[in-house]
Amino acid sequence: MKNRYLATVAAVGLFAGAAGAQDLKFPVGEGDFNWSSYESFSAEHDYSGQEMTMTGPWTGLDKELVESVIAYFEAATGGTVKYSGSESFEQDIVVSAQANSAPNIAIFPQPGLAADLAARGYLSALDDDTVSWIGENYAAGQSWIDLGTYNNADGAPETFGFFYKIDVKSLIWYVPEAFDEAGYDVPESLEDLKALTDQIVADGGTPWCIGLGSGAATGWPATDWVEDMMLRTQSPETYDAWVRNEIPFNDPAVVGAIEEFGHFARNDAYVKGGAASVANTDFRDSPGGLFTFPPECYMHKQASFIPTFFPEGTEVGEDVDFFYFPAYESKDLGKPVLGAGTLFAITQDSDITRGFIDFLKTPIAHEVWMAQSGFLTPFKGANSELYANDTLKALGDVLLNATTFRFDASDLMPGEIGADAFWKGMVAYTGGEDATSVADGIQDRWDSIK
C-alpha cells in the first residue's frame, strides 16, 4: 500500500518502554500537559490486577512511542497492557480472529481490513457515548465517525473504529525564500493556485515538480492528486460513493477530477522537464528542483513524509515549508483534507479494554505522543502547543482546520484497482491517453473482479 511511504518528519531519541510510573516519559504535574484529565481518569478507573493485550503495525521506534503512551494508562489504573507490533499485522490479525485468539484491541493501519472483520463478526462496536464524543471533540468529527462505521455481521451499520495518529496528504511544499524573491504569495484558494501557476510561467519560471516513478508502484502519487481533486470538486458523499464503486470510475465526476490533475501535470510549461517527464521521474527525486538556484520549480505536492527525501541538512520551516492544498472558493466545499491514519478497534471485549478506549478520549493520551515525534491528532482538546516542533504543529493545524477528512481512496479500493489499475491508468493518462478512456479501462477492470 502506498501508505508504507509515510514516515515521521522529525526524529526523537530512544527511551525505555512502558512498565510503570517510574518509566513515564514526562513526570506527572510538569509542563503544559492536561494533567487534570489524567488525574480525573485515574480517579474513575481502577484495573488493578487486570491485563489486556493489543497488537498493531507499529514496530521499532513507533512501538516505543505507543508504549510511552500506554505507560500512563497503566500508571493511572494499575492495569497491565501488553502491546506487540508486527510488520505482517494484516495477515496476523485475520489468522488470530479466525482462531478466536485475537488480542483485546487491534490497531488497523487502514479502514478496509477493519470493515471486513466487522462484517464477519470479529469486532465489537464502540458505545454510543464514545461515538458522540468523537463527533463533538474531533475536528470534522462526523468524518471520523463515518470512517469508523461499518456493517456488522447482520449487515447493520455500527461504529467500530476509534482513529488515532493521523497523516496528512493535502500539502504543497515550497521554498519561502524563492517565493519572497519572486514576490509570490501563498495561495488561499484553488483559483489562486491556478493563477499563481500561470504567473510563474509568465515570469519565465516553472511552477511544478511532479514525479510518479516508484518502481512497481509507479503512478501512486497521481492517485493522491486525483483524490484531492475529487474532494475539491465533489461532495464528501460523492467521494465515498466513488470509493465503494457506487458511482463508476468513468462517472463525469471522476473524469473531471482526473482532468483537474491533468491541468497541472499535462502542461509542458507547468512541469519541470515537461509533461513527458512526469511518469519517468522518481517521486523521491522530484522535489529536488525546489532547492536549486534559480529554482527549477516552485511547488511540489506531496504528503507529510516527503522531507525524508529532501537534501541532507534541509530544515523544514526554514529552508522549505508547506501550505495547505487549497479548495475552490467558488464551490463552497469547505476545507477538505486527504490523509491516512490508524484506528483502534475492540477484538476481544472486557472492562479494561473499554477503559482503554476511554483513555484515548483524554488529552494526555494524545499529548504524550504529540510532544515526541511523528504524531498528528484531530482532537480539539489536546494542547497543540505541545507538538515537538513547529512543523508538526502546523501539520496538526491543517487537521484542526479541516471541515472534511477523507482516507486515501486507492487504499480503500480493491487491491487490483487501487494498487494496480488506478496507478497504471494515471501513468497512461500523463502519457497522453484520454481521461475518459483511462477511466473506462479502470471501471472495466473493477467490473471483472465482481
CATH, residue 82: 3.40.190.10
Same domain membership, residue 415 and residue 266: yes
pLDDT bin (cut points 50, 70, 90) of residue 4 is: very low
The pLDDT value given to residue 110? 86
- pLDDT of 364 above 70: yes
pLDDT digits (tens, 9 = 90+) for 305-333: 999 999 999 999 999 999 999 999 999 99
Task: Write the burial class of residue 366 (CB in 10 Å: 0-12 exposed, 13-18 middle, 19+ buried).
Answer: buried
Q: What is the mean pLDDT of residues 388-406?
A: 97
pLDDT at 23: 82
| pLDDT interval class at 295 (50, 70, 90) | very high
CB 275 within 8 A of CB 268: yes
Same-domain status, 247 and 111: no
Q: Please, which pLDDT band fits residue 98 given cuts at 50, 70 and 90? A: very high
156/196 same-domain check: no
25 and 152 in a single domain? The answer is yes
- Residue 374: φ, ψ to 5°: 65, 30
More confident residue, 1 or 162: 162
Residues 124 and 208 grouped into a single domain:
no
- Do 356 and 315 lie in a common domain? no
pLDDT digits (tens, 9 = 90+) for 10-54: 322 222 233 344 489 999 999 999 999 999 999 999 999 999 999
**DSSP calls for 219-277:** THHHHHHHHHHHHHHS-HHHHHHHHTTSS-TTSHHHHHHHHHHHHHHT-TTTBTT-GGG
pLDDT above 80 (res 6): no
pLDDT of residue 9: 31
Domain count, the chain: 2
125 and 204: one domain?
no
Does residue 1 register a pLDDT over 90? no
Over residues 240-284, the pLDDT tens digits come to 999 999 999 999 999 999 999 999 999 999 999 999 999 999 999
Residues 43 and 132 placed together within one structural domain of the fold: yes
The per-residue pLDDT for 11 is 29
pLDDT of residue 187 exceeding 60, the answer is yes
pLDDT band at residue 95 under the 50/70/90 scheme: very high
Tell me the average pLDDT of the chain: 94
Tell me the percentage of the chain whose pLDDT exceeds 90. Answer: 94
Q: State whether 279 and 422 are in the same domain.
A: yes
| DSSP labels, 89-140 | HHHHHHHHHHTT---SEEEESSHHHHHHHHHTT-SBPPPHHHHHHHHHHBTT
The residue range of the domain holding 151 is 2-168+339-407
Would you say residue 292 has pLDDT above 50?
Answer: yes
- Whether residue 389 is found in the same domain as residue 425: no
pTM for this predicted structure: 0.91
Based on the fold, state whether residues 196 and 261 are members of the same structural domain: yes
Residue 414 sits in the same domain as residue 274: yes
